[in-house]
């Protein structure tokens, strides 16, 4: 039975519910102090940006208090910590999420209201922190939120890029890129730590030293040095004191100036050198699931792991423990192979600088690191040319060769005489030049390797690294299915639905315990709940329709089915198939009589996503989408029955508007290619229904919510290789409906067909590697099924409720607890709440 307050005590609660005037006063005071003192503005020289700054700085003071208390507590308790190393953190905006985490949104709103500012307007002033490409970077951000919320002692480490992911503009239907100078207007969410800096060496030479007793050691000397300066981004847990830190490194020149050069009259060259140091952290590489072997990228990787390890080791050394304790105090997670140089770097520090034996050092290294693989795409697996590493990091190259030698000796011992196996498993890939296979180095140097969804983890074991599974007898490999933070991806981005869920469940504790959503199942058939549920969905669709109109001038109807595909543009994600399906629908609609057309379910098809700037085919897909939209949206016979919109510059804050508004979202990668996907989870959590392939986390979502509540189609992962094989050796039998669609493109229905020739060719002479033709018929059928289902309003509402109700498993809190217990072996370290 629920506890009810005795009526005579209610006034006590009321007093606590309505923020005290003194609190509001305190907020206004700190706001005005920052506005007038930090930013030197006055009542007569203010705008929304100024009030955003004042609010952010006032909140930042609270964050810093909590951060300090947390750090002091951790220093006292000295728990085992996890270090999450990632080249990407896609944080998005911070103001709204901090207000919610600190539980002060309502009171800030009141305080600002009284001063004549609207909080909603201020939130829109913030620029996204977009230090990532897509899923991998956003996953890191969700994981930081969960680590903080669950009271874990954790640190994120990465790079403070001066330019985040580029801004996408659509010009004449084509993607164009503009630099994202996100720091131009200052960044309230970071604390510059000029007191925390480390030197990082590149190039130079390795000195071999023979001691008197005959032992040999190596010293890495010379070369050039740059300095890594820390910038700290506090991450508050939701409703807890724990406030953890993402430490981002920025490169600075090691010496202020080369005076010798200056005196030689070579002033410009001296300044040039300084610039080249700063270049290291200048720009995020804009490739998702694709490696580009640029030396500057390798420099970024070493720069950040080198500074990070120095920082972690300094913290460890403060406690005067023996080195053998290191793996029991420190766990280091590699977010993909990008930070893998941390493995030879720690080995180098331990043997060259700390004087440990190779074996003792290697034992520590392999007990410290663990590695997450995020992709099976061959073009994304990192391989670095040996000469490149040799030049930039000569000592590391020696160590990698030694790691490989000792490893292959063990393989030889276990499988004597199996030369082909040695070749397959070697960290060094033979060829001209030789390459370092970073994933192999990461596997060999880690105690645990995980994939990011059940299917993906199986593919890793059976298809990508089977030799390693055999060698380690299955002991290293495991799965941790990805998750998303319900704070940002429901509570914050969909306040109406969040409030309604809280009302129905009688408490807001689901925000920290997503298991509770299961109780929503009881309401799936409740007509009143269904009505309210769909009314909220409609509100969110109106919000998106308004946004679309403001950006593209296209008028869309909130009563149409919102069918959304937003993610990086990539051939394996098959946005191409989606737009071909749209053309198919358009051609069909054109053949109908007006009466028949009036019976169709009106559909809005939304696309958004960036293409890597050098990815020609992906950029053509964007052009085709816009060209199709141009024709369809201006066809008076079609009207609202079909609209096609490409929303430019997809990013985290746009996702927060788009995701709550979907009826259907598409996750249609060729089976076996999408490691997990995480936006699929966000859509379903917000009551959207997936139309997708049997791939990545779609599969587990289907298991949780029930197959009636998801539209699956297409071939299964284990069929793909055979079909590809046949495609290579037989003429592809093009699906007849697809042939019609291609004919329409080739007739010039959507503008100059020449433009699209290379794109169409991927399906014909290109061999249709992603099996669009094979899946087309079942894709169209699934789309038709979704139209039918949408006509049944009650049935749809029920599906939508069951979607949200079934998503408990996909909280990043569950993922993080799994990592903590099974991989990192860390425990919560709860900070006493001396401040609220």
Residues with Cβ within 8 Å of 395's Cβ and at least 6 positions away in sequence, in order, are 206, 218, 220, 348, 352
CB of 186 to ligand CR1, least distance (A): 30
Cα–Cα distance for residue pair 622/570, rounded to 1 Å = 10
CB of 140 to ligand CR1, least distance (A): 9
Nearer to ligand CR1 by Cβ, of 588 and 716: the residue is 716
**Is 70 near ligand CR1 (CB under 6 A)?**
no
Nearer to ligand CR1 by Cβ, of 88 and 190: the residue is 88
CB of 381 to ligand CR1, least distance (A): 9
Interface residue with ligand CR1 among 126, 180, 273, 288 (CB under 6 A) is 288
Interface residue with ligand CR1 among 653, 676, 783, 808 (CB under 6 A) is 676
**Strand pairing class (224-236; 243-253):** antiparallel
Is-contact 251 281, C-beta < 8 A?
A: yes
Cα–Cα distance for residue pair 664/499, rounded to 1 Å = 23
Interface residue with ligand CR1 among 58, 347, 370, 375 (CB under 6 A) is 375
Interface residue with ligand CR1 among 93, 374, 487, 619 (CB under 6 A) is 374
Q: What are residue 607's phi and psi, to 5 degrees?
A: -120, 145
Nearer to ligand CR1 by Cβ, of 57 and 143: the residue is 143
Interface residue with ligand CR1 among 289, 368, 370, 693 (CB under 6 A) is 289
**Is 700 near ligand CR1 (CB under 6 A)?**
no
**Rounded to whole angstroms, what are the CA distances from 4 to 1, 9, 506, 508?**
9, 10, 12, 16
Is-contact 305 339, C-beta < 8 A?
A: yes
Stretch that binds ligand CR1, among 176-184, 189-197, 211-219, 668-676 (CB under 6 A): 668-676
Nearer to ligand CR1 by Cβ, of 660 and 677: the residue is 677
Nearer to ligand CR1 by Cβ, of 664 and 675: the residue is 675
Beta strands in 312-372 (DSSP E): 330-335, 369-372
CB of 287 to ligand CR1, least distance (A): 9
Is-contact 281 162, C-beta < 8 A?
A: yes
Nearer to ligand CR1 by Cβ, of 135 and 692: the residue is 135
Per-residue binding letters, 102-141, with ligand CR1 (x by CB under 6 A): ---------------------------------xx--x--
CB of 370 to ligand CR1, least distance (A): 15
Interface residue with ligand CR1 among 142, 283, 675, 801 (CB under 6 A) is 675
Pick from 603, 652, 623, 660: nearest CA to 784: 603
SS3 state at 565: strand
CB of 810 to ligand CR1, least distance (A): 12
**Is 336 near ligand CR1 (CB under 6 A)?**
yes
Stretch that binds ligand CR1, among 353-361, 518-526, 669-677, 683-691 (CB under 6 A): 669-677
Q: What are residue 713's phi and psi, to 5 degrees?
A: -155, 175
Nearer to ligand CR1 by Cβ, of 484 and 548: the residue is 484
SS3 state at 210: strand
Nearer to ligand CR1 by Cβ, of 345 and 382: the residue is 382
Cα–Cα distance for residue pair 398/404, rounded to 1 Å = 10
Residues annotated catalytic, as ranges? 374, 567-568, 573, 678, 682
**Rounded to whole angstroms, what are the CA distances from 304 to 201, 202, 251, 352, 448?**
12, 12, 9, 20, 22
Query: Site size for ligand CR1, by CB under 6 A?
Result: 17
Cα–Cα distance for residue pair 658/548, rounded to 1 Å = 10
Interface residue with ligand CR1 among 352, 571, 674, 768 (CB under 6 A) is 674
Nearer to ligand CR1 by Cβ, of 52 and 371: the residue is 371
Side-chain-side CA neighbours of 558 within 13 Å: the count stands at: 18
**Residues numbered 398-457 forming contacts with ligand CR1, rule: CB under 6 A:** 452
Stretch that binds ligand CR1, among 495-503, 547-555, 675-683, 794-802 (CB under 6 A): 675-683
CB of 439 to ligand CR1, least distance (A): 11
Given 3-state DSSP classes, what are the helix, strand and coil percentages for the chain, each rounded to the nearest 5?
A: 55, 15, 30
**Is 696 near ligand CR1 (CB under 6 A)?**
yes
Which residue lies nearest ligand CR1, judged by its C-beta? 135
Nearer to ligand CR1 by Cβ, of 516 and 611: the residue is 611
Cα–Cα distance for residue pair 317/52, rounded to 1 Å = 41
Cα–Cα distance for residue pair 612/165, rounded to 1 Å = 10
Cα–Cα distance for residue pair 829/836, rounded to 1 Å = 17
Interface residue with ligand CR1 among 91, 251, 356, 380 (CB under 6 A) is 380
Is-contact 395 406, C-beta < 8 A?
A: no
CB of 696 to ligand CR1, least distance (A): 6
Stretch that binds ligand CR1, among 91-99, 153-161, 671-679, 821-829 (CB under 6 A): 671-679
Stretch that binds ligand CR1, among 5-13, 93-101, 372-380, 794-802 (CB under 6 A): 372-380
Nearer to ligand CR1 by Cβ, of 168 and 289: the residue is 289
Nearer to ligand CR1 by Cβ, of 374 and 488: the residue is 374
Is-contact 169 648, C-beta < 8 A?
A: yes
Side-chain-side CA neighbours of 131 within 13 Å: the count stands at: 24
**Is 698 near ligand CR1 (CB under 6 A)?**
no
Q: What are residue 567's phi and psi, to 5 degrees?
A: 175, 170
Nearer to ligand CR1 by Cβ, of 242 and 301: the residue is 301
CB of 573 to ligand CR1, least distance (A): 9
DSSP state of 680: H
Is-contact 803 705, C-beta < 8 A?
A: yes
**Residues numbered 452-491 forming contacts with ligand CR1, rule: CB under 6 A:** 452, 482
> Measured between alpha carbons, how far apart are the two ends of the chain, in Å?
30
Is-contact 612 286, C-beta < 8 A?
A: yes
Pick from 269, 278, 272: nearest CA to 300: 278
CB of 690 to ligand CR1, least distance (A): 14
Stretch that binds ligand CR1, among 255-263, 486-494, 672-680, 759-767 (CB under 6 A): 672-680
Cα–Cα distance for residue pair 72/94, rounded to 1 Å = 24
CB of 677 to ligand CR1, least distance (A): 5
CB of 289 to ligand CR1, least distance (A): 5
Burial of 748 (0-12, 13-18, 19+ CB in 10 A): exposed
**Is 540 near ligand CR1 (CB under 6 A)?**
no
Is-contact 179 163, C-beta < 8 A?
A: yes
**Is 815 near ligand CR1 (CB under 6 A)?**
no
CB of 706 to ligand CR1, least distance (A): 22
Beta strands in 338-457 (DSSP E): 369-372, 383-385, 428-429, 435-437, 448-451
**Residues numbered 296-315 forming contacts with ligand CR1, rule: CB under 6 A:** none
Residues with Cβ within 8 Å of 337's Cβ and at least 6 positions away in sequence, in order, are 371, 373, 381, 382, 438, 439, 441, 442
Stretch that binds ligand CR1, among 231-239, 374-382, 642-650, 810-818 (CB under 6 A): 374-382
* Contact positions vs ligand CR1 (CB under 6 A): 135-136, 139, 288-289, 336, 374-375, 380, 452, 482, 674-678, 696
């Amino acid at each position: 039975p629920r506890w009810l307050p005795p009526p005579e005590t209610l006034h006590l609660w009321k007093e606590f519910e309505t923020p005290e005037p003194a609190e509001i006063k305190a907020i206004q005071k700190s706001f005005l102090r920052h506005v007038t003192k930090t930013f030197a503005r006055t009542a007569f020289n203010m705008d929304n940006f100024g009030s955003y700054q004042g609010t952010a700085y006032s909140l930042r003071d609270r964050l810093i208090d909590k951060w300090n208390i947390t750090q002091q507590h951790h220093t006292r308790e000295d728990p085992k910590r996890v270090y999450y190393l990632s080249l990407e953190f896609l944080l998005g905006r911070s103001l709204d999420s901090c207000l919610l985490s600190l539980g002060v949104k309502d009171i800030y709103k009141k305080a600002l209201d009284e001063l004549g500012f609207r909080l909603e307007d201020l939130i829109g002033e913030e620029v996204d922190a977009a230090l990532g490409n897509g899923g991998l970077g956003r996953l890191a951000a969700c994981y930081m939120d969960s680590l903080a919320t669950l009271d874990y002692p954790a640190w994120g480490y990465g790079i403070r890029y001066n330019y985040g992911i580029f801004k996408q503009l659509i010009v004449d239907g084509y993607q164009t890129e503009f630099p994202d100078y996100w720091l131009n207007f200052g960044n309230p969410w970071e604390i510059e730590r000029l007191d925390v800096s480390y030197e990082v060496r590149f190039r130079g030479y390795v000195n071999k030293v023979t001691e008197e007793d005959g032992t040999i050691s190596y010293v890495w000397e010379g070369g050039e040095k740059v300095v890594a300066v820390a910038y700290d981004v506090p991450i508050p847990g939701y409703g807890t004191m724990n406030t953890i830190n993402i430490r981002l490194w920025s490169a600075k020149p090691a010496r202020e100036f080369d005076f010798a050069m200056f005196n030689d009259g070579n002033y410009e060259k001296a300044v040039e050198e300084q610039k080249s140091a700063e270049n290291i952290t200048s720009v995020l590489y804009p490739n998702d699931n694709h490696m580009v072997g640029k030396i500057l990228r390798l420099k970024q990787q070493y720069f950040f792991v080198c500074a990070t390890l120095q920082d972690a080791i300094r913290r460890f050394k403060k406690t005067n423990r023996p080195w053998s304790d290191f793996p029991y105090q420190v766990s280091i997670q590699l977010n993909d192979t990008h930070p893998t140089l941390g493995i030879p770097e720690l080995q180098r520090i331990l043997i060259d600088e700390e004087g440990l034996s190779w074996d003792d050092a290697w034992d520590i290294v392999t007990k410290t690191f663990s590695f997450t693989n995020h992709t099976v795409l061959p073009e994304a697996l990192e391989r670095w040319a040996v000469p490149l590493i040799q030049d930039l990091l000569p000592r590391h190259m020696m160590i990698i060769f030694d790691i490989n030698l000792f490893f292959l000796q063990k393989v030889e011992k276990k499988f004597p005489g199996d030369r082909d196996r040695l070749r397959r498993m070697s960290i060094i890939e033979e060829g001209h030049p030789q390459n370092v296979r970073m994933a192999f180095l990461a596997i060999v140097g880690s105690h645990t390797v995980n994939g990011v969804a059940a299917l993906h983890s199986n593919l890793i074991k059976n298809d990508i690294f089977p030799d390693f599974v055999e060698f380690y007898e299955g002991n290293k490999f495991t799965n941790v299915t990805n998750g998303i933070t319900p704070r940002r991806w429901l509570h914050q981005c969909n306040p109406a639905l969040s409030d309604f869920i809280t009302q129905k469940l009688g408490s807001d504790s689901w925000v920290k315990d997503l298991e509770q959503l299961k109780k929503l199942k009881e309401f799936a058939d409740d007509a009143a709940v269904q009505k309210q549920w769909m009314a909220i969905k409609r509100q969110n669709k109106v919000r998106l329709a308004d946004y679309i109109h403001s950006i593209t001038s296209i008028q869309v109807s909130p009563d149409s089915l919102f069918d959304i595909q937003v993610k990086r543009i990539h051939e394996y994600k098959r946005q191409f198939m989606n737009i071909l399906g749209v053309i198919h629908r358009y051609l069909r609609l054109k053949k109908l009589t007006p009466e028949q057309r009036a019976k169709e379910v009106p559909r809005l098809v939304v696309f958004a996503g960036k293409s890597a700037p050098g990815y020609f085919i992906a950029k053509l897909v964007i052009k085709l989408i816009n060209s199709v939209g141009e024709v369809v949206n201006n066809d008076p016979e079609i009207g609202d029955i079909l609209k096609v919109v490409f929303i430019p510059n997809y990013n985290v804050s746009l996702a927060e508007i788009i995701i709550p508004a979907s009826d259907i979202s598409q996750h249609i990668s060729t089976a076996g290619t999408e490691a997990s996907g995480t936006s699929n989870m966000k859509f379903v959590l917000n009551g959207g229904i997936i139309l997708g392939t049997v791939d990545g986390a779609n599969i587990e979502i289907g298991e949780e919510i029930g197959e009636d509540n998801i539209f699956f189609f297409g071939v299964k992962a284990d069929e793909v290789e055979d079909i590809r094989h046949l495609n290579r050796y037989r003429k592809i039998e093009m699906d007849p409906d697809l042939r019609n669609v291609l004919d329409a493109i080739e007739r010039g229905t959507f503008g100059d067909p020449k433009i699209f020739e290379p794109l169409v060719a991927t399906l014909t002479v290109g061999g249709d590697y992603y099996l669009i033709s094979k899946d087309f018929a079942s894709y169209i059928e699934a789309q038709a099924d979704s139209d039918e289902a949408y006509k049944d309003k009650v049935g749809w509402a029920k599906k939508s409720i069951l979607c949200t109700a079934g998503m408990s498993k996909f909280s990043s809190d569950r993922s993080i607890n799994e990592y903590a217990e099974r991989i990192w072996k860390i425990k919560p370290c709860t900070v006493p709440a001396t401040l609220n």
